[in-house]
Structure 1
């Protein structure tokens, strides 16, 4: 994986020189997320929703970082050139970049934004195929390669047993955000901060783990919260949560696989251990908050929903896979 991406990064960025701090950085680091015996099931939406739901978790791998623009751009353009992929939105560097333009030295490691949910899952398929993995997203067993085909994409299926890349389910996302090694963060918390939001210690720490309205005016380089030099610090130099995941709260909202639905008390996992919401819907789940609101809108249990066609400069994604 790293060898393949390093090759693409070198090709895509031959027009400028990497700094010493970032020349070996790829923006890709798959972290294994697995439960201990005492937390195979957990309460999703705790302290945020009036009705919560008990969810079960299966082992999976999540990227430590939100998808940076340079990684997005190089995979997108390579897939368009060699595999006939089509994307509705070309994306941009963070909150202030120019749509579809080549990466710049100043903002290449900011998260990709102004893409929609459909673009994100088709990009995951592209990365899977370029790596020789089995794509997860299909429609009638046909691999999805065109994010402008809304009818097919909105009725697609995700093969969770495939070794390709995909978006996390909402359950996987919240578990990874709350998981802190052997501990688990309950209540209203920024990912990585163990104290609840009504604790003064939490208020002092939130800005060290979350780019939000109080400490930013736009997106930051991925993985830089709490860094000495702020948003323009070297990517990956900031504070991850105890699982090694960066920016699970703040920077950009992150797409999840699920269609939106209210939580229910009954166990939705009776027939599907990879529960990803209802079969149909009108809006997809996004998690994690962004640079735009206060940290109190970036808590682990906060959930929002957007039409799968919507794209903004505060929404992006990170990918995961069931098999490394």
Structure 2
């Protein structure tokens, strides 16, 4: 019954989202931990460059060994019983990729419904597909003299990949990731959830009171609003912002409802939908918890879909 209720919540959120303001997908999920945790480390560095320096708005997320015997509050669908994971330390942006950051790399922004308040340049970019996010990551890596993580058609140069697909594409789906490269990439589902919990046991990223930490649809009329400027709500324990709400965030993983206990840290090897995390401005509070998981085809964008980037520490 519990699993059925979660599936129903996913479908209900998707149905509601499509009914208002062109919103797309939603989800429900599982949670915070009781295992060994240490605080995140903020970077004192400047802008990234060929030397591999880390921008000051990146936070070093601590490594963790997950044994599969932990108790998570709220319950997790990713850190499942008997699933053993070694999550290495990594750097995560303390905010979702903004329109200004996107334009700096890509030249223009696809976003709309993104000027509710503040400067739209500081709102998270939206209307980006999973494929779009791959292109951005490698282009930003190249721009900053870093080693690109993603390879398609035996190339790390997105200009050689061809036009970004508007429907699921086998060639793009066969993308590989160099996990030791120092460039930008999407977090794995496990990395995202470990970071989102922030060393705390809250329902949302940083609080049990969603109004402290998230932009979400508190009332029905708020479905007609949009994204908000990043870093205006309270950060959580690792000093990350907007891990709950604002925009859904793409992760690397193929989505699977029941994750097998032997699934590696990079997720299941195949699928048709990619994982989204965290909820959005268009979702009610229960969809924005740290355990929340969304789903969408990698070719689809949507005005509630964005992402944040990470970099490996190796």
How does the TM-score come out when normalised to structure 1? 0.70
- 2:213 is the counterpart of 1:185: no
Between the aligned partners of 2:118 and 2:74, the Cα distance in structure 1 is 41
Candidates 292, 301, 311, aligned match of 1:311: 301
**Contact 2:281–2:304 (8 Å) recurs in 1:** yes
For residues 124 and 73 of structure 1, what CA distance do their matches in structure 2 show?
13
Tell me: higher relative CO, structure 1 or 2? Use CA pairs within 8 A at least 6 residues apart: 2
- What residue is the counterpart of 2:11 in the other structure? none
Of 219, 222, 227, which residue of structure 2 is paired with 1:219?
227
Structure 1 residue 302: deviation in Å? 1.0
Residue 30 of structure 1 pairs with residue 58 of structure 2: yes
How many pairs are equivalent?
251
Q: Structure 1 residue 264: deviation in Å? A: 3.5
Distance 2:175 2:280 in 1: 28
Matches within 5 A, 1:17-166: 29-35=57-63, 47=75, 49=77, 52-53=80-81, 54=83, 55-77=85-107, 90-92=109-111, 95-96=113-114, 106-145=119-158, 146=161, 148-149=164-165, 150-166=169-185
| Closer/same/farther in 2, CA of residues 138 and 214 from structure 1, 3 Å limit | same
* RMSD, aligned α-carbons: 2.9
Provide the residue aligned with 2:271 in structure 1.
Answer: 281
1:295 aligns with 2:303: no
- 1:123 match: secondary structure: helix
CA gap of 1:43–1:29, structure 2 versus 1, over 3 A, is farther
Pairwise CA distance, 1:267: 3.0
SS of the aligned residue for 1:132 comes to: coil
The Cα of 1:148 is off from its aligned counterpart by 1.4
Deviations 1:247-281 (A, max 9, x none): 00000000000011133452323xxxxx2222221
Q: Does the CA-based 8 Å contact 2:277-2:293 persist in structure 1?
A: yes
Which residue in the other structure is 2:242 paired with?
247
Q: Secondary structure at the match of 1:240?
A: coil
Determine the structure 1 residue equivalent to 2:190.
171
Q: Is the 8 A contact 1:44 1:174 kept in 2?
A: no
The question of 1:267 aligning with 2:262 is answered yes
What stretches of structure 1 of length at least 5 have no aligned partner?
A: 6-26, 78-88, 98-103, 194-201, 226-238, 270-274
SS of the residue aligned with 2:184?
coil
CA distance in 1, matches of 2:78, 2:149: 33
Separation in structure 2 between the aligned mates of residue 119 and residue 284 of structure 1, nearest angstrom: 13
Asked if structure 1 preserves the Cα contact closer than 8 Å seen for 2:248 and 2:280, the reply is: yes
Contact 1:178 1:192 in 2 (8 A): yes
Query: In 2, Cα distance between the equivalents of 1:105 and 1:179?
Result: 27
Shift of the 43–72 alpha-carbon distance from structure 1 to 2, 3 Å rule, reads farther
SS of equivalent to 2:59: strand
Q: 2:7 aligns to what?
A: none
In the TM superposition, residue 48 of structure 1 has moved relative to its aligned partner by 5.7
Q: Confirm or deny: 8 A CA contact 2:273 2:295 kept in the other structure.
A: yes
Map of 2:310 onto structure 1: 320
